[in-house]
Amino acid sequence: RHADQTRRREPAAAEPGLRLLLDAAFLVPVGKAATFREAVRSQAERLAPRGYRVVLTGPWPAYNFVAGTP
């Protein structure tokens, strides 16, 4: 809803003792960034009692959405 594109990425190494469930990249327009962050915060609060931790980083360059290699 808030992102123009989404990419599921190969999982990176998780912190010791933790298991990574999802590593994803979202291409979010600048005008929707605050709404996106709020949606992530809301989901993080909903999932925390179940033992999940949601970590949002970025903004990052859109290299996950560039096709192929030069």
Output the DSSP codes for 5-31. EEEE-PPPPPPTT------EEEE--GG
The predicted model scores a pTM of 0.69
Query: What pLDDT sits at residue 70?
Result: 53
Residue 13's pLDDT band (cuts 50, 70, 90): low
Domain boundaries, the chain: 5-65
Residue type, 8: R
Q: Residue 32: which residues within 8 A CB-CB, separation 6 or more? A: 2, 3
What is the reported pLDDT for 12? 65
Contact between residue 67 and residue 12 where contact means Cβ atoms under 8 Å apart: no
The band of 21, judged by pLDDT with boundaries at 50, 70 and 90, is confident
Instruction: Tell me the residue type at 57.
Output: T
pLDDT digits (tens, 9 = 90+) for 35-59: 999 999 999 999 999 989 999 988 8
